[in-house]
Structure 1
Amino acid sequence: MKRLPVLAGAGLAAALAVFGAAAPASATGSQGPDPWLPTPHSQTIVYPGLPLPSRIAAPYIDVTAVGDLADLSQASGSRFLSLAFLQTEAPGSCTPYWAGDTSKPVTPDVYGAQFDRIRNHGGDVIPSFGGYTADTTSTDIADSCTDVHNIALAYENVFAVYKVHRIDLDVESDSITNQAGVDRRNQAIAEVEQWGRAHHWPVSFSYTLPTFPTGLAPSGVAVLQSAAKYGAKIADVNVMTFDYWDGATHDMLADAEQAATALTGQLKQTILPHASAWQLWHTVGIIQMIGIDDYGPQETFTLDEAAPLVAWAKSHGVQTMSFWALQRDDGGCPGVKGANSCDGLVQPTWAFSNAYAAFNSWF
């Protein structure tokens, strides 16, 4: 995203066995080695993650910019985290790594213990594929890998290894106009959802898409049209209400509310033609970039706007609130735009996290 630039398991088969699922043939070795099999470990999974509550605040966090994710979750009070990002190491690959770093594969010993500590404190994580860097280097897995089944296997492995119930797909920049990649991604989602039903494991997907204050661009609508075409059930569509780059000075609170409202109509026209108003709003997510975004001071989301936006979202039935990014939630660089470690405002550390925490429900 730029719109920038407890317990370890014994592999996929073991993870599936814990929640009563049979491993796919490739996980058992009957069809040869599976490139997504995690390294076996001696510890045993005790329990999987619980399904997400009906309403969550899940700020993004750049996993390359922080130390221990569980410590940061506790310090900030952010129970739920959206984790940026999973991508392939190079175009043409079908294997995702954290930040494309081959030393950080999708295995229990990479972040798994930290995720379990987050769960022990009543939270959970949402791994996110894509993001600005991946989407401009053909390393988003749906752009990089041309085999739908292998894309699906990669998603399945993330669900199984990390015991999560949701994967986020951040599609922007070059990826959002790559129609072949868009279609592969949605076909893989549909395959994974069938896999989840077969193994009695609730899986869900969210999309994170750029927006204008007036709603998604035609490219974003096309992503949802493709999802409808291929039967991909999208649980949540998160609009990035920042980095508009139009030269205007924006009221970031009013524009976020306008964009979210416009999204409900676009959902009705694409993936949810028969949905009620409540269902439409409950498929909406809103992502701000706290403080000064990448464009500059004309696009500044202030601390005074955070609580009103959270209250507005709760009153309308929005499902997910997020911001870019948790490691920016401090007052370390007043006046600086688009910094990755601070938000450009004068503020107490974790001030936005505290405001967003009020959005969480417990069921």
Structure 2
Amino acid sequence: MPLRLSARAAVVALAVAAASVGVAASASAATAATDTPLPAHVFAPYFEAYNGDSLSGLATASGNKYLTMAFIQTPTAGSCTADWNGDASTPISAADYGSDIASIQAGGGNVIPSFGGYSADHGGTDIADSCTDVADIAAAYESVATTYNVSRIDLDIEDNSLTDTAGITRRNEAVAQAEAWATANGRTLQFSYTMPTESAGLDSTGVAVLQNAVAEGARVDVANIMTFDYYYGTKQEMATDTESAGAGLVKQLAGIYPSKTTAQLWDMVGITEMVGIDDYGADETFTTADAATVLAWAKAQGVNTLSFWALQRDNGGCVGTGGSDSCSGIAQSTWQFSNAFEPFSGGTTTVGNDFSLSASPSSGSVTAGGSATATVSTAVASGSAESVALTASGAPSGATVAFSPSSVTSGSSSTMTVSTTSATASGSYPITVTGTAASGSHSTTYTLTVGSGGSTGGKTYPAASATLGGSADANSCSACAGGEKVSSIGGGGAGTVTFTGVSEAAAGSYTMTVSYLSVGEAKPAVITVNGVARTVSFPETSASSYSVIGTLKVTVTLKAGSSNTIEFSGSGTKGAPDLSTIAV
């Protein structure tokens, strides 16, 4: 969503001044709030926290009980510190917005803090793109929840954040960790994912974000689509586009969450409009009549969340101006859109049953003919405990997976045993472990690495433990052996991964098995063995999934002893695939 600094409309300032006495009184009476769940259906327009307006003052003036606060960002790319608007002078602390939020909560409302925003997603200062430590990202989400006693966090994912695959995985892993933390501490914590849309639903990058969330065990409570800024070059009927985008999203969600009913899928839908004239111009104008149409449609479909960008635009102070942060650009009364949408909020949130699933350890290595075990644990994520049936898929030929017991009550665990035969081929295999209950299903990945049997079996070298050069960096990978991979090899950053100390008893030709990820396309890599380079093409591992590990066997010539060096780099400016391990 936009983040542009502009002068505030005079009418907004006057409205805030008129409400100031009431705000002060409610703030003084505010008491510590709890993480009260939001209504089953909630209207929460975005509040531009970066321009100095009073949060509680505008809430009172506009009559909005619920607001989405934009945005929380890191001050610089590479930082793991979360601040309001990326400004170190406004950190996540009770001293910054705490009394305003407490005032809103004391009046029966709440806020939804939002991480990201277009400027952060474009500049690398969304915390999931900026910070490479998943635990630190999760801690930032948890800090916001506890500091302000909120029950939902919004993640605004657009522009470069939709294609930063490492950031996408980190974000979803951190959400899964924060959700597990909330469950363990008896807190209510929801996550909404806000993404741009076409008039027929999300594009492929948005779908991939949600697919990765499933793969990483992150529960997405609301998929919130921004139904504006289409840039089609034609005049759009914005209410019609909203309805078609929402219907398209539900179809996409049905493919990602096949166990959910149609009503449950609509209950995952969020809609964010840009009231008045959007950034494209007058051909994309959301009118006051459109608001009435969308409100009726959203109620009929059971949409979870309505919002708009942005509260400070909800006035008619700049008729004919598009894309302003301080006015809608159309003739309207002050707070007309707020008043139109406010009746949407209501209903009691029913906490349904849900569970989480994990495997520990998340990977194991065996020689062909051997077996490995892991503990598959479940936990009650919400509601009550339920029966969870365990299954597995993706085991290599000749291998079997057994669970003891094969069904557990959520909160209990099972022992998973993966048994191989002498015929099981060497390689790295992501095994999908799925738990299925009445409430739905969840999956986690266990990575099995199989080596050849006998005393001459090879050795595995993790890429994350190798010497990294240039832009190459190690990051989390739940499907990879050891839980890590190396990305940004080659490309403009000239990233390299160098394995030193590769040891063999005798000189000769050996088979090197490379475990890697190449999502969406085949990628070349230059492999240099003891100074001799050649380019090798790595096939695509999956069109969109980051849970599928590919293996490629490459013949290498090695010296006797432990002085062998194997380096991976890019071919020209082309990036190489992400690297998990090599086994020689």
**Superposition TM-score tier, normalisation by shorter sequence:** 0.7 to 0.9
One-letter identity of the residue aligned with 1:2 = P
Q: Is 2:209 aligned against 1:223?
A: yes
Instruction: Using the TM superposition, give the Cα deviation of residue 120 of structure 1 relative to its aligned residue in structure 2, in angstroms.
Output: 1.7
Deviation digits for residues 305-324 of structure 1 (CA, Å, limit 9, x no counterpart): 10110111011000000000
Asked if 1:338 is matched to 2:323, the reply is yes
Match 1:309 to one of 294, 297, 318: 294
The 1:105/1:124 distance shift into structure 2, 3 A limit, reads same
Query: 1:4/1:213 Cα in 2 relative to 1: closer, same or farther (>3 Å)?
Result: farther
Q: 1:193 aligns with which of 153, 166, 179?
A: 179
Unaligned 5+ runs, structure 1: 6-43
Higher-Rg structure is 2
Matches within 5 A, 1:65-214: 65-214=51-200
Unaligned ranges ≥5, structure 2: 6-29, 349-584
Q: CA-to-partner distance for each residue in 1:107-142, whole Å, 9 max, x for gaps?
A: 001001000111122210000000001011100000
1:2 lines up with 2:13 in the alignment: no
Of Structure 1 and Structure 2, which has the larger fraction of its residues in helix? 1
Name the CA distance, whole Å, in 1 between partners of 2:51 and 2:319: 19
Q: Distance in 1 between matches of 2:267 and 2:213?
A: 18
- For 1:102 and 1:234, the matched residues in 2 are separated by 29
Aligned counterpart, 1:349: 334
Q: Residue type of the partner of 2:233?
A: G
Provide the secondary structure at the position in 1 that maps to 2:251. Answer: helix
Report Cα offsets for 1:284-325 as digits up to 9, x if no partner.
Answer: 010100000000001000011101101110110000000000
Deviation at 1:49, TM superposition (A): 3.7
Q: Distance in 1 between matches of 2:270 and 2:53?
A: 27
Counterpart in the other structure of 1:273: 258
Kept in 2, the 8 Å contact 1:59–1:81? The answer is: yes
Secondary structure of the equivalent of 2:228?
coil
Match of 2:381 in 1: none
Q: Which residue of 1 aligns with 2:308?
A: 323
Map of 1:40 onto structure 2: none
Note the alpha carbon deviations across 1:26-80, whole angstroms, 9 max, x for none: xxxxxxxxxxxxxxxxxx9734241111000000011122421111001101110
Other structure's SS at 1:189 match: helix
For 2:123 and 2:212, the matched residues in 1 are separated by 22
Rounded to whole Å, the distance in 1 between the matches of 2:216 and 2:35 is 28
Deviation at 1:158, TM superposition (A): 0.4
Give the letter aligned to residue 286 of structure 1.
Answer: I
Assess, with a 3 A threshold, how the Cα gap between structure 1 residues 302 and 196 changes in structure 2: closer, same or farther: same
Count of matched residue positions in the alignment of Structure 1 and Structure 2: 324
Query: Bigger relative contact order, structure 1 or 2, given CA contacts below 8 A and separation 6+?
Result: 1
Q: Report Cα offsets for 1:205-239 as digits up to 9, x if no partner.
A: 00000000011000000000100100100110110
Per the normalisation by structure 1, the TM-score is 0.87
Whichever residue aligns with residue 201 of structure 1, its letter is R
How high is the sequence identity, in percent, across the aligned residues?
49
Q: Which amino acid aligns with 1:163?
A: N
Contact 1:4 1:294 in 2 (8 A): no
Give the CA deviation at 1:269.
1.3
* Letter aligned with residue 126 of structure 2: D
- Secondary structure, counterpart of 2:91 in structure 1: coil
| Distance of 1:214 and 1:53 partners within structure 2 | 28
> Which residue pairs with 1:17 in the alignment?
none
